[in-house]
Structure formats: structure tokens, C-alpha cells
Amino acid sequence: MTAQIFAVIIFVLMFLLIVMDKIERHYVTLGCGALTLVVVFGICMRSGRAIWDTLAIKGFATKEFWYQVTESESKGINWATILFIAGMMVMVEGMAKAGFFRWLCMKIAFMVKCKTIPVFITFMIMAAVLSMFIDSITVIMFLAAVTIELAALLKFNPIPMILAEIFCANLGGSATMCGDPPNIIVGTSLGLSFFDFLTNTGVIAGVCLIISVVFFYFAFRKELVSASGEAPDMSKFPKPSEAITNKKDFIVSSIIFGLAVILLITHGSTHLTVASIGLFIALITIIANGKDSIELLKKIDYKTLLFFIGLFIVVGGLEETGILKLIADFIGKISGGNVFLMIGIILWISAIASAFVDNIPFAATMVPVIESLSATSGVDLHTLAWSLSIGTDIGGSATPIGASANVVGTSVAAKNGYPVSWGRYCAKLAPATIIVLTISTIYIFVRYL
Amino acid sequence: MSQLIISVGREFGSGGRVIAEALAERFGIPVYDRHLITDIAAKTHLTPEEVEKYNEAPKPHIISRRVRGFSNSIEDNIAEMQFNFIREKAESGESFVVVGRCSESKLRDFKCLVSLFILGDMDAKIKRVMEVYELNEADAKELIEKKDKKRKRYHNYHISLHWGDSRLYDLCINSSRLGIDGTVDALEKYIRARVENMEKE
């Protein structure tokens, strides 16, 4: 009982400190993680096994960590998630250095002759497609910057376009296992594959993307009219080729990206885990960049990786002490065994929570909850997993602080003279989020129940 | 005269802004205070009144988030634009007086910086605020406390050392002792001595 109380206190403290943003969040999770190991596992439980299980270091030595034929579930620190994210970070840094993202944005703008509405529609689709494979922060950072550049040349307000891109990036992230950190956590914890996500959440995201494009077109079309009303003079725009900093690096990084996509799509049949893919992609990027790879490695966001380590330990504290099982039992009880209600609760509570707090700790906490819920109620675990993924990934779009892409997109806009208030953001994106979540709920009910 | 930057931190009602303007006049250099609002308004497609709302204001923590150095808070972004503005001015070699905006810390690495903090006795501050804003005593006191609380939270969010902490400034002076004009005279003397020293170096 004492261990449970301390595990909850540490977890709540961690969440409060993250929200208060006084101390950098990786220090918060690592500090709270250390407290969990010492106070909960060491002093209260006196359990070396709990510490060992949560640190999960022995997992590296197992074959299943790198090559997995059958589904297996993980516990404690999810090293596969951390290794995969680190690998993708190295690859993305290599692509950014070569000018890949800027080139792609400019290329697409040129393909549609830099006309405002076609740029608006293609950029929304590009945000969704890129976010299926690359973290949404990087996608939005480049897309928003190019959008502002185009807005200055075409004389339109870039805010509606950036808001639509943010929404579609979060939606695209929900389509695959590697699109959004909650999906990587859900996928690696439950032994799901890229293809599992693509054929389930991917279909939902695809349907919702079509609806979102239509919704945003009607919501923003009046604001996107070019002030000049004249056809754009293409000669004034920077050429896509000017974005490429080094042709050799550009080709190499494009090939590595293509390889990463192929490895991810086929990992269900090659049995290579995402940890192996992450490590492999990082290694070939480092080899291909030679001496420059030191610069790439320096640019990796180590703080996020450390944040994950601390977070998994704190959640491990809740899991080992049985708190998450209690939450699962509580959800089972209030839904009275009604599977529709259970799915509704998982999806909508995840969405509402993710609209206000970081969806990564939320997803990490909820994975053991849905496992326990499935075991006790008999509801298919995969259906609960898709509900959790959709709820956490898409719910984050509703407010400016719900997901990292929202913060980065609105910040890039503000830095360039277009501050976005909460009211401005939520006026269109909150209804869009509700529409998309409603469609997703109906889809899940019809397809799986 | 070589480059001179005068940073003036102040308590509300201490006459800090008036002192900053008087010093700017005596040294023949511009003062950046209101300009930091109108310039940002022009750059941000906001009205000066809207910028005023976010000016020198702490961000609301509950509805703000920071990711890899990016922040959704308009307060944070406006503060950053103002920090960049004064930094660019300083780097261009221009001499100026700047009021608030954590300038004593943000421009600390410029050798030509003279950082001042103007404080005042509560009675004197209340009297001054009652005159300037035509308020009764209770309202004036309330306004002083509210404004100072806001400045303190804004400063302490951006800078690790506390607002008004003497270690942050070259000189802290109570304007109630010599009055506004007397304080300006004393500060002018001090700054001229500093300029002389800088020129020797």
C-alpha cells in the first residue's frame, strides 16, 4: 500500500512539474524515475527484481529485441522505442542537412505553380504523408517555414495554412507505428507491426484526411485569397534546386530515407524489430556522412531520449505496484462490461487528456491499462490499442499545447510575426478534432464490434 | 563618445521611465520603451494595444508549452522578439537607453552597458501614482503591487537571478531620497564617470 501511494505521488509530481515547465522535462522524468527506483522499489518494496525488470537492460541480450517472429510484450523502459527514435533522429538530421525537406516543400509548391489553394491542399497532404515516417516536429518546422515564405511572396495570411498542416501532421502520425511516439510505445509494447497500424489506424487516418481537407478548405478558403489577386510570378520564387546544400548528401539521404520506409513497411515479414531498424538506419547514416556525422550526432535531441527513459521508469512504478491494474478494473467497472462504452472511454478520455497534457506519458501509462482491461474483460486488445492510438494522436490537435507539432507550428508562425492565440487556434481545430474523433469512433464500432 | 547602453530596471511608481527619458536626453541618445511595443506591433500584425497586453508579461504556465526551444505562448514570443531587438541594436554599435525587458542580463556581455535599478519608498510611489493616474490611495497601492508582481514574474521567468536583486545591477538607487531630478543628476555623474573609465580602457 505504501509503495502504491508513493508511486502515485511521484507520478502526479512528475506530471505537475512537466506542466509547470520550470525545470526541463528530462530532468523531471529522470529525477522522478530515480525516486521511483529508490523509494518505491528499494525502500517500500525491497524488490531488486522490480528494479531489474523496470530497467529492462537484459532485453538487449535477447534475440527477440532485434529479431521477432512472434508477438511479445515488453515491460519497464521501452528501449526499442528509444533506440528507434534515436535512429530516426540521426536520419532526419542527415536529410535536413542535405536540404531534403526544403527541397520537397519547394518542389511541390512549384508543381502546383505556387497557386494558393493548390499549395494549401498539397501541403496538407504532404504534412500527413511525411508524418507517417518522420516525426511531426521536423515536418512542421520545415513546412511552416516554407509556408511563411510563400505567404510573403503570394501575400496571404499563413496562419490558416499552418494550422491545417499541424492538424494533418498529427493525423498522418496516427496512421503508422512510427508516425507518433504514442504509436511506437503502443506498437513495441504490444508487439504490433508497421503493417498492423497501416491497415487499421492507417485506414482511419486516410478517411479522416479526406474529410479534413474538405473541412479546412471550406473553413479557410476566404482567408487564403491572395491580397494581390494576381497570378504568381514564378520567377520571383526560390528554385527547389537551390534548397539542396550538397547533391551527393541529398542523394544519399534520399536513399537512406527510402530504405527506412521499405524496412518499416516490410518489418512484419522480415521480422526485424523497430530497434534493429533504428540502429541500422543510424549506422548507415553515420557511415555515409563520414566526418560530418559528429555534427549530426551533436544535433540529436538527447533531452527527449532521456525524457523517455525517466518516464518509462515512473510508469514502471505504477505498473509494478498494481496501480494501473486498479485503473483498468475501474474502467471495466464503470463501463459495466459494455464494450462500446469501454472503447468510447479509452478513445475519448485519451483524446481529452492529450488535448491538454503531453500525450507521450499518457500513452505510456495507458498501455498496461488496456492490457489489463483486455485480460479481465475479454475485449480484443488490438481494438483497444487502435482506440488508444487514435485518441492520443488526434486528440492532441484540439489545443495549441496538445502535441509537439502544434507548439512548434504556432511558435514558427509567431517568430515570423503571426502570433496565434488560443482562441484563433481552437476556433477551427477543436471542431475538426471532434469531427475526426467522432468518425473514428463510428469506424471502430462498425469495423471491430 | 563611444557606444553607451543604459539599462533601467524600475519599480512601478519610482519614476524609472521618466528618469530613463531624462538620461537619454542628457546623453543625446534614443530611449527604447514604447518603441519596443510599436516596433513589435508593426512586425506581428497585432495592434499596439494587443502587444501591450503581452508586453513584459509572464506566460500563463497552464496553457503554455515549450518544445525544443519553441513556445506556443505569445508572451514568450513577444519577449524573445524584444530581446532580439535590443540585442541587434546593441550589436549594431548604437547607443541607447532601454527600459526593463531584462536588459541588464540580456545585454550583460556588452562592456558599454551601465545597468541601473530605480526603486522608491512605498509612500512616495503611492503619491506619484495617485498624481499620474488620478487614483485614490488604496487603488494606487493595489496598482503598484499588481504591476510589480507582474514585472517580477516576467523577469524571474526569463532570468535566473531575481528582479531587483542588487547583484544584477551596477547601481540601485532609491529615487525617493533625492527626488526625480536629483536622482537624474546623480546618475548622470555616475554614468559620465563610467564613460570616462570605458574610454580609458
Distance between CA atoms of A257 and A255, rounded to whole angstroms?
Answer: 5
Query: A336 with A291: CB under 8 angstroms?
Result: no
> The complex's ipTM?
0.78
Report which of A369, A398, A397 is spatially closest to residue A385, judged by C-alpha positions.
A369
The confidence score (pLDDT) of residue A175 equals: 96
CA dihedral (A322, A323, A325, A330) positive or negative: positive
Cβ pairs bridging A and B (under 8 Å): 61
State the nearest Cα–Cα gap between A236 and chain B, in angstroms. Answer: 23
- Asked if pLDDT for residue A74 goes beyond 70, the answer is no
Residue A227 is predicted with a pLDDT of: 58
- Taking the C-alpha atoms of A316, A321, A327 and A332 in order, what is their torsion angle to the nearest 10 degrees? 110
On the question of pLDDT at A64 being above 90, the answer is no
Averaged pLDDT, A324-340: 85
CA separation for the pair B115, B98 (Å, rounded): 10
Binary contact (B70, A407; C-beta < 8 A): yes
- Residues B130 and B148: their CA atoms lie apart, in Å, by 16
Least confident span in A59-63, A190-194, A220-224, B171-175: A59-63
Nearest CA-CA partner of B63 in A416, A351, A420, A402: A402
The answer to whether the CB atoms of B65 and A407 lie below 8 A apart is: yes
Alpha-carbon distance B51 to nearest alpha carbon in chain A (angstroms): 10
- B64–A137 CB contact, under 8 Å: no
Between CA B7 and CA A314 the distance in angstroms is: 45
Residue in A20, A408, A419 nearest the CB of B77 = A419
Give the DSSP letter of residue A262.
H
Closest CA to B77 of B51, B102, B103, B100: B51
What's the CA gap between A256 and A289, in Å, rounded? Answer: 11
Tens of pLDDT, residues A207-222: 999 999 999 999 998 8
Which of A20, A407, A417 has the CB atom closest to B67's CB atom? Answer: A407
Chain B residue closest to A299 (CA)? B68
The shortest C-alpha distance from B60 to chain A (Å) reads: 9
Q: Taking CA atoms, what residue in A is nearest to B66?
A: A407
How many alpha carbons fall within 13 Å on the CB side of residue A360? Answer: 25
Spatial CA neighbour of B26 closest among B197, B199, B181? B181
Name which of A404, A415, A422 is nearest B63 (Cβ-Cβ): A422
Q: By CA distance, what is B61's nearest residue in A?
A: A20
| Alpha carbons A282 and A146: distance in angstroms, whole number | 27
Report which of residues A215 and A415 the model is more confident about: A215
Please indicate whether, in this complex, the C-beta atoms of B72 and A20 are within 8 angstroms of each other.
no
Cite the DSSP H helix spans in A236-377.
Answer: 247-270, 274-289, 293-299, 302-320, 323-334, 339-356, 359-377
The label of the residue with cell 502570433 reads A419
**Nearest CA among B86, B116, B112 for reference residue B5:** B112
| Phi (first) and psi of residue B171, to 5 degrees | -150, 130
Select from A303, A401, A418 the Cβ nearest to the Cβ of B64.
Answer: A401
- Grade residue A177 by pLDDT with cuts at 50, 70 and 90: very high
Answer yes or no: do B44 and A410 touch at CB < 8 A. Answer: no
Q: Residue B138: which residues within 8 A CB-CB, separation 6 or more?
A: none
Q: How wide is the angle at C-alpha B158 spanned by C-alphas B156 and B163, nearest 5°?
A: 30
Which of A358, A419, A422 lies at the smallest CB-CB distance from B46?
A419
Category of A247 on φ-ψ map: left (φ > 0), alpha (ψ -120 to 50) or beta: alpha
Q: Do B70 and A19 touch (CB under 8 A)?
A: no
Alpha-carbon gap: A417 to the closest alpha carbon of chain B (Å):
4
Digit-coded pLDDT (tens) for A230-257: 667 777 777 888 888 888 889 999 999 9
Whether residue B80 lies within 8 A of chain A, CB to CB, comes out as: yes
SS3 B5: strand
* Cross-chain CB nearest to B63 (options A401, A406, A417): A401
Reference A400, options A425, A430, A424, A417; nearest CA is A425
Which residue would you say has higher pLDDT here, A88 or A75?
A88
- Cell 492565440: give the residue: A421
**What residues of chain B score a pLDDT lower than 70?**
1
Grid cell for residue A164: 491545417
Residue B142 C-alpha, separation from nearest chain A C-alpha, in angstroms:
27
- DSSP class of residue A232 equals P
Judge whether A384 and A416 are in contact, CB under 8 Å.
no
Output the nine-digit C-alpha cell for B137.
490611495
Q: Which residues does chain A have within 8 Å of residue B80's beta carbon, measured at their own beta carbons? A: 415
**What is the pLDDT of chain A when averaged over all its residues?**
89
**Contact between A410 and B68 using a beta-carbon 8 Å cutoff:** no
pTM of the model: 0.86
Domain residue ranges of chain B, discontinuous segments joined by +: 5-196
Show the cell assigned to B12. Answer: 512601478
- Pairwise CB contact (< 8 Å): B65 & A301: no
Q: Cβ–Cβ of B77/A415 closer than 8 Å? A: yes
Worst-scoring range by mean pLDDT, A58-62, A170-174, B80-84, B186-190?
Answer: A58-62
Checking if the pLDDT of A72 tops 60, the result is: no
Contact A417 B45 (CB under 8 A): yes
CA distances to A179, A439, B119 from A436, rounded to whole Å, are 18, 5, 55
* Spacing of C-alpha A419 from chain mean position: 24
A401 interaction partners in chain B (CB closer than 8 Å): 63-65, 72
Q: Is B61 on the interface with A (CB under 8 A)?
A: yes
Unique residue bearing C-alpha cell 534515436: A86
Cβ–Cβ < 8 Å for A172, A300 = no
> Which CATH code fits B5-196?
3.40.50.300
**All three cell numbers of B82:** 524584444
Q: How many helices (H) and strands (E) does chain B have?
A: 8, 7
Q: Please state, in angstroms and rounded to a whole number, the distance separating the CA atoms of residues A296 and A94.
A: 7
Judged by a CB distance cut-off of 8 A, whether residue B174 touches chain A is no
